[in-house]
Structure 1
């Protein structure tokens, strides 16, 4: 039996790995919002597998379990290879970038549908493996759950190292190898042709992996802004693919996920001068008044801002979140091409997330600069506007101001393209941070200028003296910039009123996009849709630019998933079990609502925790691994503990667990920010330990609730188990989308409270149920009437859950992954 459990663990590990890897590939080959859409829909295949198993249970008898497990694991491996080949060379037509309005054609829809269909097939077969195991091995459901969750947690841990060491393409090939190996584990005896085929397939896939490592053939082609024929360096990690293009008569240029571009600058530009384009002119404005000091550069990339700071005589500290850029590109592979720019004694580069670094730093600076810091990359848990960014919040500006010397200046450069006007939102952030610092008139502390599509905002702790204002005005004229606002300007235009009026809210509301300040509780700077305009974005997204367009995709996903749930889960279950609700319908609906509440609650809490812990841990990859693994493993332990609860105390244990989860989540909603402020200065290892413990605490209870509830319901209405399983999977898909909508519009505190409310509703559903008669030790199906023609799948949770993966969820990073696993014990 342990052999079968180990095989299930291999499959769930492979399923979670495949989801993460496809998210990375799609972020490169598609525009980031489509990556989120396609992966979320593909994961729906996990839910469909459970329904297929239920309605066609006569085709999956217990006596053929090993053969069926091996057969579906083999198909998982084959279709993983097919999906890889297809997605590497197929994207979507049309432009969906910052400078183009989103346009859909029939070809676009066809291409997306094909990508969805191809990637859903391996997910379906992975889900079938877990569904079969849960159906026929239900007498040891607790132990099976543990292997299910442990496999998914292992996949989460392996994703980052495999991406970095093998690359996404080869890592997907390894997933296929693991799936074929699982088929061998399921059926090791040479009976028939299946074991031989599985062994041959595993060997062939392993050989293909080796050949592709030696001579890459299966690799991503040219997509978006990158021409692979000019690429001389490429490397994957858990949140990006960084490539370097070297074209004749141009500087080498880095691209992050084929869109965000930064050129590699040479150290000789410090003495000889750099380019005078609008980007350098606007971003380097601060150095017209600050020379010879300490400069902190957030996101130095290829060295644009580093060169500007060095030319002004500063010593530079650079904080780069991507280790590929900081180490492999700038300090190793292209050190000569950059003239050793990052190896100079007056340049110090730290690999960290900028906001987290500043919050823990104890030094003071004359200049803190952040220029166009973003990536247009789909993280593991979402995508850009759907992903939190703690660098652009009011609290972040408070941190920056605290790290300035008395006459220091913060310089932020952003796009200034209607309707989003990110540079104006930076102004509202700075104004609010200054107000909270006790500044009565923010107008004396701000200077802003723009040219073309770029705008720069300067913020000073103390008022700008008149001579500095004149120096800045002279620099703007020399560089061809247009002042947006400066202290003492005579005109009272919209920007001036936005800065100086006592109540700027009415003016902010007049802008087409939301420019109100954002806070750590709702750190979605790039989300420019007001809550009241949310529905309008679905029906008329022509006005949306690239960042907010992803919100329309999110809402469209919500509608599409609803249709798929009805077509592939609700309708088949109703058609094949239409007699289920004829007797005692209200009682049975309460039973079904229990599964729904658990499914929504688990994913909502998960999304909120991923967002909350992102800033505390200081790096998206840390947040993903720590939060997901802790949640999955704790849930697995909770699931096993549920078997130790005496039969007569199951209802009491269930109620206590639901109440405890709700209480802990509510406490986290109000106490985590204060606790993080106190602990964020600790070293990384203690912060990881604290985060794991905090996540595991509710995870234990969340893992206990599903199997406990299933045992209670199995004794009363065993025929509802498969239906509840399907509804749980559907609820998890809806919950992931709903959680992001709540987080973006109301904040993470509201998201946590919504998750707690779901667990309280599950508690009420359990309390309104009379105590169930003892269930047969053999499982729920044993309690079913003898006339029942099909065995009911053993309770365990939604197909998505039991597959070790739940729907993809946005930020946090990428990120789109424990949700996947959530299924296990948490409905």
Structure 2
């Protein structure tokens, strides 16, 4: 790639700009592809598109043909047939049910014959299994649960997040087993009339609210396929959508609650993001906008004065992991909302591997507390937190006793797991393993081999391995092959150029990752952030590159002004952007996406000047090492991507953004060195052309 681009006869700004604009179009194109076809077919279409690009490049006249006897020559001879074959394969796979499809899903084999439904969109794959009569699927079952069976299907999200789809004909009495699940403990409180469910899934929580007498139930589900399953494809199997008082909203929950004028007696969020994903470490490095102080404030704001927010998460008896962080998040939210004694608003009980935390907007009344305690006792649930009793865990007791944020921070400090309350600036609820903890030889004595620690360990070690593998591949494919191109360069060109392109490579990736993480919380899903943020940033960077051809940074003053302006805008983003995003939480997806495009415009335009300007600076001295600078810039970006993720988790997204800003500020120094070397090179060239004439430069 670097050889093709550096040897192009066209202006560097135009080549780089066209490359970036094409990448920006691809960011939106992938959304379109995945919404109209399955994942394997989308991959095949992308392969065919790459083939078309190769055909275009083959006809450009650049480069030389391979030797006639080589394999490359034979393939080149049949290039049109090969690309046509790729296109036909992509078309055929799109319109057949027996084409290429995944068979190994999350470490297990999947047979298409076992599936009654299989559909993809831009951020998920939803499958529904065949029906079977078995004991009902439960999250945290009471030991007193009577034995029974029910006909049900497994609704699976992305191969790991399973939820039950019960056969239901409209008779709520057939769902009596739901009364014995700890996730429904909150409904022991009397006089609850209106409810909302975050994450509908198979409809279990919606059915629970109707079973316990709530007459008005709203299910908020981000995935339209799931609602389509309930309302259309399996409406004859489960009559949830036909229940009186039940309505569904296809929206991101946080945005919907910020926008709706309605208020509720209860909001339920049960196991959003699953044990399968947590155990595999899939979510521990991913931001989540539903588990932050700002998000929970939104949810509490939509409760009636005596309303409650009930959240269920995985629980490991004897360990304080997700449960501790959940309580810490609740306490921080209550303190931010003005609560004087957070513990009077909290009740926590567990059954098996699931704990349910009930957070009330007002202090729990004696009647409500009595109802919860009686229900917990009747179902033999373990009470872990109550306003009237001390917590059995010393750590939980310290957290729940906090009456201000400083006390809460002290209560969560020094623990071997990260129990600090997540915020929008550090929204990594599922990552609880401090990076420094891995250096402690006794760390494994604190944990079992499953659950939060296992998932966090897998994810953290995977990140470390990714950095090492990336470094090895970068060395093998970029640094070693391209190093000879810089050997003959003078020290100013070699050092100045390398530092310049390393800085803009690191800086760009730090800014990109930080904005992806921040906007993922704002837009409600990482896929939306990937598409919108990458589209915006790459598009504006491409325009910046094109603009650099007309507005060249010639001269020390212009270079310094560009460097300072870039750094100033990026340094300022953490100051004004977060409150703006919170204020616009309730806007529609298109409005929020439009805001992202506008916010990223100055950053992209300014950063777009960096690469072509650097190439002009080094080319003014010598064109020989330009492939090296292309390569080292890409290498720095590859390595910085993993480091940026680690920085956001360990510190904050704002810290990652500031590091990127600092890189653009520091880039002025090597730019000046290159400019000085270029001036001397021009002076020498003029002297060689006119050795007898004095020259003023």
User: Under a length normalisation based on structure 2, what TM-score does the superposition of the two structures give?
Assistant: 0.85
- What is residue 216 of structure 1 aligned with on the other side? 98
Q: From 512, 515, 518, give the equivalent of 1:606.
A: 512
Aligned length: 642
- What is residue 459 of structure 2 aligned with on the other side? 550
Instruction: For residue 275 of structure 1, report the CA deviation from its aligned partner.
Output: 6.0
CA distance in 2, matches of 1:154, 1:246: 39
Q: From 333, 353, 358, give the equivalent of 2:233.
A: 333
CA distance in 1, matches of 2:18, 2:442: 41
Instruction: For residue 529 of structure 1, report the CA deviation from its aligned partner.
Output: 1.3
* Corresponding position: 1:727 with 2:632: yes
Instruction: For residue 423 of structure 1, report the CA deviation from its aligned partner.
Output: 2.4
Instruction: For residue 189 of structure 1, report the CA deviation from its aligned partner.
Output: 11
Q: Contact (CA 8 Å) 1:145, 1:639: kept in 2 or not?
A: yes
Q: Contact (CA 8 Å) 2:266, 2:310: kept in 1 or not?
A: yes
- What is residue 522 of structure 1 aligned with on the other side? 426
- What is residue 80 of structure 1 aligned with on the other side? none
Instruction: For residue 496 of structure 1, report the CA deviation from its aligned partner.
Output: 3.0
Q: C-alpha offsets along residues 769-802 of structure 1, whole Å, 9 cap, x if unaligned?
A: 444548999xxxx99x9xxxxxxxxxxxxxxxxx
- What is residue 767 of structure 1 aligned with on the other side? 672
* Corresponding position: 1:206 with 2:87: yes
Q: How does 1:414-563 map to 2 (within 5 A)?
A: 414-417=313-316, 419=319, 421-489=321-389, 493-494=393-394, 495-501=396-402, 503-505=407-409, 507-509=411-413, 511-533=415-437, 535=439, 544-563=453-472
User: Under a length normalisation based on structure 1, what TM-score does the superposition of the two structures give?
Assistant: 0.72
Tell me the SS of whatever aligns to 2:635: helix
CA distance in 2, matches of 1:151, 1:287: 53
Tell me the SS of whatever aligns to 2:177: coil
Tell me the SS of whatever aligns to 2:152: coil
Provide closer, same or farther for how the CA distance between residues 766 and 232 of structure 1 changes in structure 2, counting only shifts above 3 A.
same
* Corresponding position: 1:570 with 2:474: no
Provide closer, same or farther for how the CA distance between residues 357 and 290 of structure 1 changes in structure 2, counting only shifts above 3 A.
farther
- What is residue 309 of structure 1 aligned with on the other side? 209
Provide closer, same or farther for how the CA distance between residues 746 and 512 of structure 1 changes in structure 2, counting only shifts above 3 A.
closer
- What is residue 235 of structure 1 aligned with on the other side? 119
* Corresponding position: 1:258 with 2:163: no
CA distance in 1, matches of 2:77, 2:275: 45
Instruction: For residue 513 of structure 1, report the CA deviation from its aligned partner.
Output: 2.2
- What is residue 356 of structure 1 aligned with on the other side? 255
Q: Contact (CA 8 Å) 2:257, 2:586: kept in 1 or not?
A: no
- What is residue 37 of structure 2 aligned with on the other side? 166
- What is residue 20 of structure 2 aligned with on the other side? 149
- What is residue 638 of structure 1 aligned with on the other side? 544
Q: Contact (CA 8 Å) 2:308, 2:360: kept in 1 or not?
A: yes
CA distance in 2, matches of 1:316, 1:153: 41
Provide closer, same or farther for how the CA distance between residues 375 and 695 of structure 1 changes in structure 2, counting only shifts above 3 A.
farther
Q: C-alpha offsets along residues 596-616 of structure 1, whole Å, 9 cap, x if unaligned?
A: 000000011011111222233
CA distance in 2, matches of 1:215, 1:682: 38
CA distance in 2, matches of 1:270, 1:509: 50
Answer with 1 or 2: which has the greater Rg: 2
CA distance in 1, matches of 2:426, 2:305: 30
CA distance in 2, matches of 1:470, 1:614: 41
Q: Contact (CA 8 Å) 2:185, 2:372: kept in 1 or not?
A: yes
Q: How does 1:172-183 map to 2 (within 5 A)?
A: 172-183=43-54
* Corresponding position: 1:597 with 2:498: no
* Corresponding position: 1:588 with 2:494: yes
Q: From 683, 687, 700, give the equivalent of 2:592.
A: 687
Higher mean C-alpha deviation, range 611-620 or range 753-762? 611-620
Instruction: For residue 651 of structure 1, report the CA deviation from its aligned partner.
Output: 4.7
CA distance in 1, matches of 2:581, 2:391: 44
Q: C-alpha offsets along residues 162-214 of structure 1, whole Å, 9 cap, x if unaligned?
A: 12222111111212222232333344699997676222223322332343322
Q: Which runs of 5+ in 2 are unaligned?
A: 66-72, 134-150, 689-697
Q: C-alpha offsets along residues 290-317 of structure 1, whole Å, 9 cap, x if unaligned?
A: 4441111000110110011011222111
- What is residue 281 of structure 1 aligned with on the other side? 181
Q: From 700, 706, 727, give the equivalent of 2:605.
A: 700
Q: How does 1:614-693 map to 2 (within 5 A)?
A: 614-646=520-552, 649=554, 651-693=556-598
CA distance in 2, matches of 1:353, 1:292: 24
Instruction: For residue 682 of structure 1, report the CA deviation from its aligned partner.
Output: 3.4
Q: Contact (CA 8 Å) 2:540, 2:601: kept in 1 or not?
A: yes
CA distance in 2, matches of 1:685, 1:401: 26
- What is residue 58 of structure 1 aligned with on the other side? none
Instruction: For residue 410 of structure 1, report the CA deviation from its aligned partner.
Output: 0.5
Tell me the SS of whatever aligns to 1:595: helix
CA distance in 2, matches of 1:203, 1:722: 32
Higher-RCO chain (CA-CA 8 Å, sequence separation at least 6): 1
- What is residue 173 of structure 2 aligned with on the other side? 272
Tell me the SS of whatever aligns to 2:206: helix
CA distance in 1, matches of 2:100, 2:361: 53
Provide closer, same or farther for how the CA distance between residues 553 and 511 of structure 1 changes in structure 2, counting only shifts above 3 A.
same
CA distance in 1, matches of 2:357, 2:524: 25
Provide closer, same or farther for how the CA distance between residues 562 and 389 of structure 1 changes in structure 2, counting only shifts above 3 A.
same
CA distance in 2, matches of 1:430, 1:610: 26
Provide closer, same or farther for how the CA distance between residues 636 and 672 of structure 1 changes in structure 2, counting only shifts above 3 A.
same
Q: Contact (CA 8 Å) 2:199, 2:269: kept in 1 or not?
A: yes
CA distance in 1, matches of 2:171, 2:575: 49
Instruction: For residue 565 of structure 1, report the CA deviation from its aligned partner.
Output: 2.8
CA distance in 1, matches of 2:475, 2:640: 16
Q: How does 1:319-330 map to 2 (within 5 A)?
A: 319-327=220-228, 329-330=229-230
- What is residue 398 of structure 1 aligned with on the other side? 297
Provide closer, same or farther for how the CA distance between residues 383 and 762 of structure 1 changes in structure 2, counting only shifts above 3 A.
farther
CA distance in 1, matches of 2:100, 2:681: 51
* Corresponding position: 1:137 with 2:4: no
Tell me the SS of whatever aligns to 2:119: strand
CA distance in 1, matches of 2:586, 2:372: 36
Q: How does 1:47-62 map to 2 (within 5 A)?
A: none
Instruction: For residue 564 of structure 1, report the CA deviation from its aligned partner.
Output: 3.0
CA distance in 1, matches of 2:375, 2:259: 34
CA RMSD of aligned residues (A): 3.1
Higher mean C-alpha deviation, range 189-198 or range 354-363? 189-198
Provide closer, same or farther for how the CA distance between residues 275 and 570 of structure 1 changes in structure 2, counting only shifts above 3 A.
farther
Q: C-alpha offsets along residues 230-266 of structure 1, whole Å, 9 cap, x if unaligned?
A: 1111112222211111143241111112111011134
Provide closer, same or farther for how the CA distance between residues 725 and 209 of structure 1 changes in structure 2, counting only shifts above 3 A.
closer
Instruction: For residue 344 of structure 1, report the CA deviation from its aligned partner.
Output: 3.3
Q: How does 1:785-804 map to 2 (within 5 A)?
A: none
- What is residue 621 of structure 2 aligned with on the other side? 716
Tell me the SS of whatever aligns to 2:197: strand
Provide closer, same or farther for how the CA distance between residues 493 and 698 of structure 1 changes in structure 2, counting only shifts above 3 A.
closer
Tell me the SS of whatever aligns to 1:344: coil
